[in-house]
Amino acid sequence: MDILKEIEENLIEGNVKQVDLLVKEAITQGLDPNGIIQGAFTPGMEEVGRRFRNNEYFIPEVLICAKAMNNALAMLKPLMVGSTARRAIGRFLIGTVEGDVHDIGKNLVSMMLETGGFDVIDLGVTVSAARFVAEAKQHQPDIVGMSALLSTTIVAFEDVIKAFQEAGVRDQFKIMVGGAPVTQEYANRVGADAYAANASEAVEKAKQIILCQKKEQAT
């Protein structure tokens, strides 16, 4: 079996030690860290998310899979950052919204953004609307990203966007949303500037936003 497929299947099953061993083997074989993420972790966590939405997996199973992924990402990150030392193409502030302690998707997006050349500021989980605004004012990111795993917490997206509006800084930042229960329709409804269905798409959408901003500045 292809080693990427093995990593993916063991990730889905939550086999933490086996994922560690397989990722080390993949590194030894010379596989590109970004290729490991896109070829194994992205489809693996998408399947975990699907099972969670369909009530096939519950919070304990999801957390075990998250541990397997986070352990492996800790091994891959130094290799990825070391191989992409260059001037950042943009700054991305990201966090999971208030009331949601899940960081699976957020961590994967953060890693992919860093690999894609972004300077990432990760606020962690259960980030309040007020903190999103305060951190955005302090760090002046090009894009603010919000993530949620639970359908009960995506309502916070609207609260955060409203907080930016009330602070008078909404026009200063592009806002991107994503997460298992989020759709393009919902993103449009709450007034987000962009929506990404997965980590790879988040990077592509972020690059498109930066490109558009540069074109606007040039005119």
**Residue type (1 letter), 154:** I
Please state which of the ranges 24-38, 99-113, 153-167 shows the lowest mean pLDDT.
99-113
Alpha-carbon distance of 19 to 12, in angstroms, equals 10
The residue with greater pLDDT, 176 or 213, is 176
- Give residue 113's pLDDT: 86
| For residue 187, pLDDT beyond 50 | yes
| For residue 183, pLDDT beyond 70 | yes
Which class in CATH covers the domain with range 3-83?
Answer: mainly alpha
Homologous superfamily of domain range 90-218: Cobalamin-binding domain (3.40.50.280)
Residue 143: helix, strand or coil by DSSP?
A: strand
Q: pLDDT by residue (tens digit) across 65-106?
A: 888 988 898 898 888 755 544 468 899 999 999 999 988 789
Using the structure block, give the residue that is written with the tokens 């975990």. 48
The beta-strand segments (E) located in 64-207 are: 90-96, 118-122, 143-147, 174-178, 194-195
- Give residue 176's pLDDT: 98
- Looking at the DSSP bridge assignments, the partners of residue 122 are 94
Q: Categorize the per-residue pLDDT at 52 as very low, low, confident or very high, splitting at 50, 70 and 90.
A: confident
Report the length, in residues, of the chain.
219
- Give residue 108's pLDDT: 81
- For the chain, the domains span 3-83, 90-218
- Give residue 158's pLDDT: 96
Structure tokens at 138: 């302090």
Alpha-carbon distance of 117 to 134, in angstroms, equals 24
Please state which of the ranges 9-18, 27-36, 40-49, 173-182 shows the lowest mean pLDDT.
40-49
Q: Which of 175, 138, 149 is nearest to 96 (CA)?
A: 149
